[in-house]
Amino acid sequence: MKKMIKNGVIVTAADQYEADLLIENGKITKIGVHLDDAADEVIDVKGAYLFPGGIDPHTHLDMPFGGTVTADDFETGTIAAAFGGTTTVIDFCLTNKGEPLQNAINAWHDKSKNKAVIDYGFHLMIGEVNDAVLEEIPNVIEKEGITSFKVFMAYKNVFQADDATLFRTLLTAKEHGALVMVHAENGDVIDYLVTDALQKGHTDPIYHALTRPPEVEGEATGRAAALTGLANSQLYVVHVSCAEAAHKIAEARQKGFQVWGETCPQYLLLDQNDLEKPDFEGAKYVWSPPLREKWNQDVLWDALKNGQLQTIGSDQCSFNFNGQKDLGKDDFTKIPNGGPIIEDRFSLLFSEGVKKGRISIHQFVDLVSTRSAKLFGLFPQKGTIAVGSDADIVIFDPDKERTISAETHHMNVDYSAFEGVRVTGEPVSVLSRGEFVIRDRRFTGKPGSGQYIKRSRYNSTQTRQAISVQ
């Protein structure tokens, strides 16, 4: 089955040009001007942009958390992702202390196998390091193609690992070619501040932010970066929310440490005031790290523009307002942390970033797709439009306007944190390995058609060279 996409404007992290594109067996096999190869189907996109499919490096689908389970599973979550222009997600596989890592991986394969409509991979949580875990890691890399490991420095008594675990994970990752990811907040200090706030009767959602101040994120980020330098290893800091953390990353990079950083649309566009919305609405805006004072947004946009932060993740972790977020009606610590963003990550960044002149269109592609492919061992199979790459393609109308709303989104959740926000630019059609998953804004995919992707090892030299700053 051959498909020809005609009259597109191909936009990658490096180039923008008009061309036709031939797809065979899920791969891009030819790119050129006025191609006249025979094809089973010819799609004239009439000057629309063709972007490489988005890669969301940070999702939590079907994940037990905060006394409940995220509202979007691998089916609804990946359908919503596809509507939003994302064709690959890398989801966090949670492990249980004392159990083989492989048990957790098997459980995540079971959750995703017959459900995902786009391709996916897993990061693996490391909660503790012992001889059994250390022995399993090389096997996980080799056999499962899982080349990134996540250590939580927060969520005391739940996911939090100690510094020895982080350090030994960094050493092991260095040895075997993997990237260590951290949720960087000081969980012990947060635990103290939370206990103190509750003792004083402070139970409203705003106390979620007040008990997790920027200093605890900056401190943990700096600590993780220092340990990375000591181990001569590599680190990726997820969901950077504030100036303190962004500065620690820049400082480490200045010293030549391999420290990479991700931020998310919520930290670029929402702020701490949202937590004070009346009628418990503030619970919709409970993320960890929390939303920050508005001025931090400019620091984060600057860091994206000047290359000190490299990727945009959604941190998709959706909970319904009714029935899940309201678990914390009388106690902010019981509000499940996280929100629904997987569908809007791509459009929000295009609209607020490119259309408003904060980043170039090439930086946009780099941030939503290419850099994640390079950091997480997917490039050049994914993350670009090139001969030999998977035909993961977004046909994008840069001028179409729409309003984000829970009424029209495809996430399985009863609110949107961006309700009423106008965005310019829309993924009109989306192909995953050459098949339409979204066609003219209708879902045409099939649960189970998404493939599990084994990823390549992290290679320091290649990754550093590949991630250039424009």
19 binds, among Zn ion, ligand URP, none (CB under 5 to 8 A by kind): none
Is there binding between residue 183 and ligand URP (CB under 6 A)? yes
284 binds, among Zn ion, ligand URP, none (CB under 5 to 8 A by kind): none
The SS3 assignment for 305 reads helix
123 binds, among Zn ion, ligand URP, none (CB under 5 to 8 A by kind): none
Structure tokens at 418: 């961006």
Name the minimum Å distance from CB 63 to ligand URP.
Answer: 8
Is there binding between residue 208 and Zn ion (CB under 5 A)? no
Is there binding between residue 288 and ligand URP (CB under 6 A)? yes
Please name the helix (run of DSSP H) or strand (run of DSSP E) that holds residue 467, with its range, or none: none
Could you give the count of Cα atoms lying within 13 Å of 367 in the half-sphere of its Cβ?
A: 33
Is there binding between residue 371 and ligand URP (CB under 6 A)? no
Specify the residue, 339 or 425, whose C-beta has the smaller distance to ligand URP: 339
Q: Among 141, 245, 317, 393, which residue interacts with ligand URP (rule: CB under 6 A)?
A: 317
Letters for 82-121 (x = contact with ligand URP by CB under 6 A, - = none) are ----------------------------------------
Is there binding between residue 57 and ligand URP (CB under 6 A)? no
List the alpha helices (DSSP H) in 385-459: none
135/138 Cα distance (integer angstroms): 7
Report how far apart the first and last C-alpha atoms of the chain are (Å, whole number). Answer: 38
Q: Among 123, 168, 174, 183, which residue interacts with Zn ion (rule: CB under 5 A)?
A: 183
Residue 55 CB neighbour total at 10 angstroms = 29
Q: Among 48, 56, 60, 89, which residue interacts with ligand URP (rule: CB under 6 A)?
A: 60
Decide if 77 contacts 61 (C-beta within 8 A).
yes
Is there binding between residue 325 and ligand URP (CB under 6 A)? no
Is there binding between residue 208 and ligand URP (CB under 6 A)? no
Q: Among 338, 353, 377, 450, which residue interacts with ligand URP (rule: CB under 6 A)?
A: 338
Number of residues engaging ligand URP in binding (CB under 6 A) = 9
Name the minimum Å distance from CB 133 to ligand URP.
Answer: 21
User: Between the CA of residue 156 and those of 153, 234, 411, 466, what are the distances in Å?
Assistant: 8, 24, 29, 36
Specify the residue, 144 or 315, whose C-beta has the smaller distance to ligand URP: 315
Name the minimum Å distance from CB 396 to Zn ion.
Answer: 26
Name the minimum Å distance from CB 144 to ligand URP.
Answer: 21
Q: Is the peptide bond before 289 cis (omega within 30 degrees of 0)?
A: yes
The SS3 assignment for 36 reads coil
Range 96-101 contact pairs with CB under 8 angstroms and sequence separation of 24 or more: 96/127, 97/127, 97/128, 98/128, 100/132, 100/136, 101/133, 101/136, 101/137, 101/140
Name the minimum Å distance from CB 122 to ligand URP.
Answer: 15
Is there binding between residue 383 and ligand URP (CB under 6 A)? no
Is there binding between residue 409 and ligand URP (CB under 6 A)? no
Q: Give residues in contact with ligand URP (CB under 6 A).
A: 60, 183, 239, 287-288, 315, 317, 337-338
